[in-house]
Structure 1
Amino acid sequence: MRIERKERADATILHADLDSFYASVEQRDNPALRGLPVIVGGGVVLAASYEAKAFGVRTPMPGREARALCPRAVVVRPRFEAYVEASNAVFDIFRDTSPIVEGISVDEAFLDVGGLARISGSPVEIATRLRARVAAEVGLPITVGIARTKFLAKVASAVGKPDGLLEVVAGTELDFLHPLPVRRLWGVGAITEAKLADAGISTVGDLSRFGEHGLCSLLGGGVGRHLYALSMARDPRRVETGRRRRSIGSQRALGRRPKSDADIEATLVAIVDRLGKRLRTAERVCRTVVLRLRFDDFGRATRSRSFLESTDRTDMIMAVARGLLDDAMPLIRDRGCTLIGLSLTNLDDHDSIQLTLPFEADHGAELDIAMDQLRDRFGRDAVTRAVLVGRHHGDDAPMLPD
């Protein structure tokens, strides 16, 4: 379902973003960590408190590099169940604030508060109450940006961090945007920023003055038009609610220690088992499996393969995932592997599957259901694959939704 409203002159789009989410949950739950530099994740930094960020620690920085920058940092293991619980509580507040909420990830969302003035007050008043409720009911700091467009609201929340509230008043968009560095624009990474710097472009204002034609010549037509539109505060997208996710995924940081082929395969098997259950719980099916790898030299590789027909069967997903891993194993042996991730994409509803006649007995789906039920009743480790016996695979980091 897509909900739209007519164009308004007011700044009525909120971007609410929890501050250093994982690290803030750890500091909330363990008062001894408050005020200290906290790093979540050992092999790769999954999150860092603002005290750690002050030393230059960033995600997804290798843990060794982060500890060199901040020797006093306290490194804690991730607790994803706690993060999911906190996220659900915050999103309940979002949905109680506005009927139009578009989740972006576990720790941020857009809210459209247009039309709520008579019952809830101005956007600033609404955002102020939202921040107070998140602090009082969930115990976490959150920053809110307010603007007429999603893009500017997100930029405002980034500028307003940490634990702040920043409104871009209607009519002042370019005054706010143009002094900012170009890296604030969606689509400007390190490579694009370097290209722009070589052309003498360091701020959003510089970029807008360079012109659309010049940007298209420098960066290509699509990127040039996109960045020029953002530099002029043009973003026609509406806040959407009820969107179905296009993919689900999970990843596991492996650290820089040597790993055997069996270690890596066991990690993949554990990820596939969990994703298969998540897929069936959501009553979805997938068409494509995507394997993502990060190497010791910080390089990355992606491999993907699609099914002829969509499926939610763990055995079929497992076979494809193992095939992708086999294809990539020469690279892993040569370059080492610090992270392995798997995504199931091209999702559809389960009832979209075209049924086939059972000419041959195949009980794979029944086996998946039985294993799901056993794990729901007796715990995740009640039944497991032989390759996972004696191994611990609880540190995988969920990927952000597309």
Structure 2
Amino acid sequence: MSRAPRSERAGRSWGDDDTGCTVLHVDMDAFFAAVEVLDHPELRGLPVVVGGEHRGVVTSATYEARAFGVHSAMPVARARALCPQAVFLPTRHGRYSEVSRQVMAVLAEVTPVMEQVSIDEAFLDVSGALRRMGPPVTIAGWVRREVRARTGVTASVGVAATKHVAKLASTHAKPDGLLLVPAAATVPFLHSLPVGALWGVGEKTRQVLERRGWDTVAELAATPLPVLHRTLGVAAGQRLHDLAWGVDPRPVTPGRVEKSVGTETTFAEDVTDRQLLDRVLLDQSHQCAARLRADGMLCSTVSVKVRMADFTTLTRSRTLPAPTDLARDLAAAARDLLAGVTVPAAGVRLLGVRAERLVSASAGVQSMLDDDPQQARAERAMDGVRARFGPAVLRPASLLGGRPGGRPETR
């Protein structure tokens, strides 16, 4: 779910001229929670929260839950305090991926120029579909109707001349709406927004901007470029200035390659035992490696994420000697990285592994001289057994007895 600030003024009608507005941003509404309600109709109309258990974080919430202040990335304990009457459910990534594939299949019928940016959102360049399907707003309406009819979940669609504005428009169309920002209304629309709505303005940048008195996009746009350069740096200052004036030349890029694969585990209780942490890293490395092989990718960098009991979070990364899709290599690097982290007496709350800088396995990447072909064959054989009999049927001997720790959250 998007947590970017919204403006009531921006959600109004900006006109009906969609000439040149060939970029659509399709964003599913409270996607994970919507799928849970789809599968459990008795929950319709109730506040529903999807995420980890008591010590996890919220990944999705219905609009009934959001009315109580619940939002994504919030600790589940906080969500329970805000909305104790909510129904709390664990994540089911396999099911969400299944519905996501159905949604993306609908979008692919419109145009091959589709850029999927996450499990529940995508950009479309519909310029090649206008003669076949009609103007952009007509296409957006078709998308919303077909997604609902075929999947049972709803989508909001933003229609604009650029990716940045289309994404902002879909945010202001939620839930289950459509918002067109005509090309001529691009700048007035942007200047009606709080500065935190701009793409790339996170919490820290927003605080910097607001300390300078720039609370709105209009105020940022009116600031001389040299002042922005001194405040944010030349690159960031120029980018935000361009976005504030509607300048965004980025095309919709089909076939966008996933940049990383990772998984995190939030522990039921804080962990101080390094042997247990190493077992968790091994399990996570096998999960990541299986995903890499399934997607035909190799990773060049491994990173670990460690969140302490006091919520202090550290990340460490290492570039590998050669790209790999083997759990053995990921686990070795992850364990070395963790060895360099001091585990406090209060323990570790969350541990994660991420495979980054992905390259295609078919790109002819050179292997290391000491690569063991037997290891590669063994891990691929494990993939086949798990695909046939389930993920729990085969695992390293040190992991027998179940996955260690808490609930995994794969991303």
Q: TM-score, normalised by structure 2?
A: 0.89
Whole-Å separation in 2 of the counterparts to 1:263 and 1:101 = 43
Match of 1:133 among 146, 149, 155: 146
CA contact (8 A) 1:211 1:228 kept: no
Shift of 1:67: 0.9
Kindly provide the CA deviation profile for residues 286-316 of structure 1, in whole angstroms up to 9, marking residues without a partner as x.
Answer: 2110112233333321111122122222212
Tell me what 1:364 maps to.
375
Taking the TM superposition and a 5 Å limit, the aligned residue runs for 1:107-118 are: 107-118=120-131
Match of 1:204 among 217, 236, 240: 217
CA contact (8 A) 1:39 1:48 kept: yes
Kindly provide the CA deviation profile for residues 158-205 of structure 1, in whole angstroms up to 9, marking residues without a partner as x.
Answer: 111111100101111011110111110112122221222221111100
CA contact (8 A) 2:271 2:277 kept: no
Change (3 A) 1:334 1:234: farther
1:143 alignment partner, SS class: strand
Kindly provide the CA deviation profile for residues 270-297 of structure 1, in whole angstroms up to 9, marking residues without a partner as x.
Answer: 2111111121222222211011223333
Whole-Å separation in 2 of the counterparts to 1:277 and 1:258 = 26
CA contact (8 A) 2:115 2:255 kept: yes
Kindly provide the CA deviation profile for residues 196-218 of structure 1, in whole angstroms up to 9, marking residues without a partner as x.
Answer: 22211111001111232221122
Tell me what 2:107 maps to.
94
Q: Which runs of 5+ in 2 are unaligned?
A: 1-17
Match of 1:391 among 365, 383, 402: 402
Q: Return the letter of the residue paired with 2:38.
A: R
Whole-Å separation in 2 of the counterparts to 1:25 and 1:356 = 44
Query: Is 269-278 or 255-264 further displaced after alignment?
Result: 255-264
Tell me what 2:200 maps to.
187
Change (3 A) 1:373 1:180: same
2:258 alignment partner, SS class: coil
Tell me what 1:342 maps to.
353
Query: Is 86-95 or 311-320 further displaced after alignment?
Result: 311-320
CA contact (8 A) 1:25 1:140 kept: yes
Whole-Å separation in 2 of the counterparts to 1:167 and 1:18 = 17
Q: Return the letter of the residue paired with 1:349.
A: S
CA contact (8 A) 2:157 2:179 kept: yes
Shift of 1:356: 6.1
CA contact (8 A) 2:272 2:344 kept: no
Whole-Å separation in 1 of the counterparts to 2:368 and 2:49 = 50
CA contact (8 A) 2:270 2:309 kept: no
Tell me what 2:23 maps to.
13
Whole-Å separation in 1 of the counterparts to 2:82 and 2:269 = 18
CA contact (8 A) 2:26 2:158 kept: yes
1:363 alignment partner, SS class: helix
CA contact (8 A) 2:322 2:368 kept: no
Change (3 A) 1:355 1:257: closer
Shift of 1:317: 1.5
CA contact (8 A) 2:50 2:61 kept: yes
Taking the TM superposition and a 5 Å limit, the aligned residue runs for 1:161-240 are: 161-240=174-253
Tell me what 1:73 maps to.
86
Tell me what 2:365 maps to.
353
CA contact (8 A) 2:304 2:337 kept: yes
Shift of 1:361: 6.7
Shift of 1:334: 4.2
Q: Return the letter of the residue paired with 1:398.
A: T
Shift of 1:157: 0.7
Tell me what 2:291 maps to.
278
CA contact (8 A) 2:117 2:256 kept: no
Q: Return the letter of the residue paired with 1:371.
A: M
CA contact (8 A) 1:44 1:255 kept: no
Query: Is 144-153 or 284-293 further displaced after alignment?
Result: 284-293
Query: Is 86-95 or 348-357 further displaced after alignment?
Result: 348-357
Whole-Å separation in 2 of the counterparts to 1:338 and 1:258 = 7
Query: Is 314-323 or 87-96 further displaced after alignment?
Result: 314-323
Q: Return the letter of the residue paired with 2:376.
A: A
Tell me what 2:313 maps to.
300
Tell me what 2:390 maps to.
379
1:40 equivalent in alignment to 2:50: yes
Kindly provide the CA deviation profile for residues 326-369 of structure 1, in whole angstroms up to 9, marking residues without a partner as x.
Answer: 222x2x434543332221122222242325667x9762112212
1:248 alignment partner, SS class: strand
1:268 alignment partner, SS class: helix
1:110 alignment partner, SS class: strand
Query: Is 256-265 or 363-372 further displaced after alignment?
Result: 256-265
Tell me what 1:152 maps to.
165
Whole-Å separation in 2 of the counterparts to 1:232 and 1:204 = 9
CA contact (8 A) 1:249 1:341 kept: yes
Tell me what 2:7 maps to.
none
Whole-Å separation in 2 of the counterparts to 1:258 and 1:58 = 27
Whole-Å separation in 1 of the counterparts to 2:92 and 2:258 = 23
CA contact (8 A) 1:255 1:339 kept: no
Q: Which runs of 5+ in 1 are unaligned?
A: 1-7
Shift of 1:257: 4.7
Q: Return the letter of the residue paired with 2:325.
A: D
Whole-Å separation in 2 of the counterparts to 1:264 and 1:257 = 11
Change (3 A) 1:58 1:340: same
Whole-Å separation in 2 of the counterparts to 1:197 and 1:300 = 26
